[in-house]
Copies of this chain bind each other. A is one copy, B any other.
């Protein structure tokens, strides 16, 4: 399928420099693009690659447009070429998508008291419990489970095999990927003479609009009040959000992040892969945590935070690790040296003055 470049720009905005009649089949990377592809330049390091691309059209910033010689195709000038690329990719995916056929697969098990919009798709082997609500144009992938009283806002998509347990609510245009478990019991136990007594977890989960949740990610229900994921949050795969957390709007977390119970994360934060946040902490807005870091205290100030241990050749690491274990003693030795040096120095001064 081919789209007129002019029609793409009419739809997405930006300034077109070049022939609007060019036919575009889709997106391709700089080095793989041909005359019927559109590509993009957002990283200045790739400028020379952009000069050499055979793409029919190139998305780039005004600054790069002025620096870029030697590219003969059409140009689309955008303030944010990467976001423009994202929207163009969405455009082509929507253009090429197979038509959605609404309806409930014969093998699905839907409780008669559940309300499923006529425009929704319920795939094979899905189970929907009593009182659940599935909004307009939702797609519930094969083998997914929707618990009692839970709800999906309009346009939300579950990939195959999502577990969305009782009393969980997700807003509009959400995506929940395969294997995710929303609404598992929070990890709450009281210790009584060495035995653990389960504290029933009766809060649910509330997820705002435009949230994406990755494969095999888990979000526990709250103990008494719900766990909250605000609008626009993006969670990658295998993330664990414990009970009663609040994840602020538009925060993004990469794979394998863990957030312990009752942590309150601000808005517009980012967490690198495998970062961990301890419980009951408060993290301000616009905090960025590096991959592999463990956040062991609240953070009140925006900024980039890091706490991981530098990688080394194993033999070097063993030496360093040995010293790290003795660091406390080493500080004392340095202090003692300073003291002796002061004494010696004073003595020498007096000797010299003699």
Interface residues of A in 62-103 (CB under 8 A from B): 80, 82-83, 85-87, 89-90, 92-93
Q: Does B143 contact A236, Cβ atoms closer than 8 Å?
A: no
**How extensive is the interface on chain A, given as a class?**
35 or more
Chain B nearest CB, measured from A185 CB (Å): 6
Q: Does B297 contact A305, Cβ atoms closer than 8 Å?
A: no
Decide yes or no: A293 and B311 within 8 Å by CB, A184-B214, A237-B184, A341-B341 being known contacts: yes
Interface locus among A50-58, A114-122, A160-168: A160-168
Would you give the 0/1 interface string for A320-348, flagging 1 where the beta carbon is closer than 8 Å to chain B?
A: 11111111101101100110110011011
Would you give the 0/1 interface string for A202-216, flagging 1 where the beta carbon is closer than 8 Å to chain B?
A: 100000001010111
Would you give the 0/1 interface string for A141-156, flagging 1 where the beta carbon is closer than 8 Å to chain B?
A: 1110101000000000
Distance of A141 Cα from B272 Cα, bound (Å)? 35
Residues of B close to A294: CB separation below 8 A: 274, 291-292, 308-309, 311
Residues of B close to A310: CB separation below 8 A: 296, 307, 321, 324-325
Q: Does A190 contact B303, Cβ atoms closer than 8 Å?
A: no
Q: Does B341 contact A338, Cβ atoms closer than 8 Å?
A: no
Tell me if A61 is interfacial: C-beta within 8 Å of chain B. Answer: no
Interface residues of A in 90-142 (CB under 8 A from B): 90, 92-93, 105, 107, 109, 123-125, 127, 141-142
Distance of A348 Cα from B214 Cα, bound (Å)? 69
Q: Does B327 contact A337, Cβ atoms closer than 8 Å?
A: no
Q: Does B179 contact A181, Cβ atoms closer than 8 Å?
A: yes
Q: Does A109 contact B89, Cβ atoms closer than 8 Å?
A: no
Chain B nearest CB, measured from A328 CB (Å): 4
Q: Does B276 contact A292, Cβ atoms closer than 8 Å?
A: yes
Distance of A260 Cα from B308 Cα, bound (Å)? 16
Q: Does B225 contact A187, Cβ atoms closer than 8 Å?
A: no
Residues of B close to A238: CB separation below 8 A: 216, 218, 238, 240, 258
Q: Does B215 contact A220, Cβ atoms closer than 8 Å?
A: yes
Distance of A316 Cα from B290 Cα, bound (Å)? 13
Q: Which of A187, A326, A344 has the most chain B CB within a 10 Å cutoff? A: A187
Residues of B close to A274: CB separation below 8 A: 258, 276, 294
Tell me if A21 is interfacial: C-beta within 8 Å of chain B. Answer: no
Chain B nearest CB, measured from A256 CB (Å): 4
Distance of A200 Cα from B92 Cα, bound (Å)? 9
List 6 contacting pairs A-B, 8 Å CB cutoff, sorted by A: A89-B200, A165-B178, A179-B216, A181-B237, A184-B215, A348-B348
